[in-house]
Amino acid sequence: MPEPGFTDSILSLFFPPRCVHCGAPGGWLCPACAGLLAPVGPCCRRCGSPQAAFCRDCPECRGKMLGFGSATAAFCFQGPARSLVHALKYRRQRRLAAFMAALPQDHPACLTAAGTGVTLTYVPLHRSKLISRGYNQAELYARAISRRWRLPVKDLLLKRIPTPAQNRLGLEERGRNLAGSFGLQRMTGAITGRVILVDDVFTTGSTATACARVLRERLDVEVDVWTFARTVKAGV
């Protein structure tokens, strides 16, 4: 099978990409739109919210029982970042995964420290959703990160129960919606060290928490979360 980079080069030759945000020819993001990407920047060490960058008491994760140790995202889920996520997720632009993996300049230290017992995994889709969409955007993104940072990626989780889309639900409903829906894949060999759970967008943390709890309880590992983007409340 050809290397992803080779395949992307051939596809780009015959089907040159256009900016996913404004439609200008020449690349997945034109220089003007790339300049509109908003890095999350300093944030809460626990949930990744920039709202608590300079305070000890984070208003977003205060009192919450999170299943992961920390959550980090590259960009605010707005403008070109939103367009990139939607193009990968809904417009079948699978080649975007490698482009998105190369965009952030500040990855967590755990991603850049190859050979230190870090394993990547990703938020799974239920089989029915995987069949209808044809791929899992979180898996594509995780595998692109794996290639770029030379870190192992493993299929650790499965979605056992099909659930309504999270973006249609409130905060409390999101947690109830996902209760018991994730499980552990059958696997051989032990997982040790730290697991980085990869997804495209962090919204409330309900999905990340549900997945991380399975990993922690079944594998006895530390879990951190990395996403390409995260929603940020207005005024932050």
**pLDDT tens-digit profile of 36-51?**
999 988 888 889 888 7
Mean pLDDT, all residues of the chain: 84
Q: Above 50 in pLDDT, residue 3? A: no
pLDDT(117) > 70: yes
Q: In the predicted model, what is the mean pLDDT of residues 8-31?
A: 80
Q: How far apart are CA 110 and CA 154, in angstroms?
A: 16
- Contact (Cβ atoms closer than 8 angstroms) between residue 103 and residue 37: yes
Q: What global pTM score does this model have? A: 0.86
Encode pLDDT of 138-194 as tens digits: 999 999 999 988 889 999 999 998 776 655 555 555 556 677 789 999 876 778 888
3-state SS assignment for residue 182: strand
What phi-psi label fits residue 138: left (phi over 0), alpha (psi between -120 and 50 degrees) or beta?
Answer: alpha
Instruction: Average the pLDDT over each of 47-56, 105-114, 196-205, 222-231 and give the range with the smallest value.
Output: 105-114
Q: Are 229 and 202 a contacting pair, CB within 8 Å?
A: yes
Strands 157-159 and 182-184: antiparallel
Tokens of 216: 């922690």
Tell me 57's DSSP state. Answer: S
pLDDT at 134 over 90: yes
**Segment 86-95, tens digit of pLDDT:** 999 999 999 9
**pLDDT at res. 65:** 86
Structure confidence at residue 108 as a pLDDT band (50, 70, 90): low
CB 221 within 8 A of CB 215: yes
pLDDT at 12: 56
